[in-house]
Amino acid sequence: MSDHSSEPQIRSILKTLIMHPHNFTAEQAHQALHEIMSGLATPAQISAFLVACRLHRKDADPVIIASCGKVMQEHAVHVHFHDQALAEEIVDIVGTGGDGHNTFNVSTTAAIVAAGAGCKVAKIPNLPLQKYVYRIQSYQHGNRASSSSSGSADFLESYGCALTNVTSDLVPGMIAEHNFCFLFAEKYHPAMKNASKPRREIGVPTIFNILGPMSNPAKPKRSVVGVHSKWVGEFMIEALKLSGAKRAMVVCGAEGLDEISPAGETFTWTLSEDGQITFTAIHPTHDFGLQTHTLDSVRGGGPADNVQTLERLLANELPENNPILDFVLLNAAAVLVVAKKAQTFKEGVEIARAAIIDGRAKAALEGFKNDTQARN
């Protein structure tokens, strides 16, 4: 067990990690990350820890990832649910990022559509790599654009959501009333400021990128997690299981996309409630009943451009078989399946489409937006 009351141990832990990596334990990882998040580690020690974890593949060990995920939750601003039935329903859709494809804000839009279809969504984007600007007045377990043109926070703020007004005590009520809430990482993980400069200066993905999907302060038991490579999917699903997930689906488009791909095959790892993990490949046409579309046809633009597309989608103004619409339906269907609102992906597509057509998806986002603005 980690001893949070003792003198900093990170120097001795680093010696083990670097000199004898086979002896490095999950408890040591927990203790080291706790000291990093507590401001007890120097920038050099933080950099050494992150790079050594990367070089020795400790950031691909599901036991270590799960242990570090607990540290992230310990240092996060907590969201307390008095209604445990509501807490058990919470679902999230998030990607690890780093795929380089710069697609439309599909996970946020899919979350909104799934909320309109009846899912209880607490949306968290991943912990940003390039810009973790510590702003005590910003919110979402979302982030501003790091490597893409439009981050999820930029996207929703451009739509009019006053994300800075959403505090942890408001989250359960917003989810209960609107089925949707957006959590800003910079507000809910203030301790991340201690690691922001080393992460930025290293400039490559670290264990923090893997930890993002397990860092949602709402602690969803169900999630859809996108990863940019097949080898990450294999250990990510195991880490989610060890972290207490009840149902989860890890997805990786064959092109290296951290979403369900509209272009062709997507690899999936699915955790069922009995603890079993299954691997399969899915396809837009065969499994969802949708056409395929090139990744070029679902590229994203800046926040304003993406918001215009979102508004047209929620107004049911995008034509059938539109690439962006189908991209969103694919990923919303996965959320619906994980949330047990649909039995199959094809059924999920039709449920999601109905939520767009009858306006429930737009109502979910409008309700959330209006609620955030009313807090001014």
**Per-residue pLDDT at 128 exceeds 80:** no
Confidence of residue 3 (pLDDT cuts 50, 70, 90): low
Confirm whether 203 is domain-assigned.
yes
What local confidence, expressed as pLDDT, does residue 185 receive?
A: 80
280 in the same domain as 323: yes
What local confidence, expressed as pLDDT, does residue 145 receive?
A: 47
**Per-residue pLDDT at 148 exceeds 70:** no
The region, left, alpha or beta by phi > 0 then psi within -120 to 50, assigned to residue 279 is: beta
**Per-residue pLDDT at 137 exceeds 80:** no
What local confidence, expressed as pLDDT, does residue 255 receive?
A: 95
50 in the same domain as 180: no
108 in the same domain as 64: no
Its pTM surpasses 0.85: yes
Cβ neighbours of residue 324 closer than 8 Å, sequence gap 6 or more: 104, 106, 297, 298, 309, 313, 318
Q: Are 328 and 110 a contacting pair, CB within 8 Å?
A: yes
pLDDT tens digits, 75-84: 999 999 999 9
Confidence of residue 376 (pLDDT cuts 50, 70, 90): confident
Q: Which of 289, 314, 295 is nearest to 254 (CA)?
A: 295
**Per-residue pLDDT at 139 exceeds 90:** no
Give me the domain span that covers residue 133: 84-373
What local confidence, expressed as pLDDT, does residue 164 receive?
A: 86
Q: Which of 121, 163, 122 is nearest to 139 (CA)?
A: 163
User: In whole angstroms, what is the distance from residue 127 CA to residue 189 CA?
Assistant: 9
Phi, psi of 95 (to 5 degrees): -120, 155
Q: Which of 70, 82, 1, 6 is nearest to 33 (CA)?
A: 70
Q: What is the CA radius of gyration of the chain?
A: 20
pLDDT tens digits, 345-375: 999 999 999 999 999 999 999 999 999 999 8
Confirm whether 215 is domain-assigned.
yes
Q: Write the single-letter amino acid at 167.
A: T
Confirm whether 1 is domain-assigned.
no
What local confidence, expressed as pLDDT, does residue 36 receive?
A: 98
Confirm whether 3 is domain-assigned.
no
Length of the chain in residues, anyone? 376
Averaged over 271-294, what is the pLDDT?
98
State how many domains the chain has: 2
Find the range with the poorest average confidence among 182-196, 321-335, 336-350.
182-196
The CATH number that applies at residue 28 is: 1.20.970.10
Confirm whether 200 is domain-assigned.
yes
End of a domain among 20, 44, 75?
75
- Who wins on pLDDT, 309 or 139? 309
313 in the same domain as 189: yes
Confirm whether 5 is domain-assigned.
no
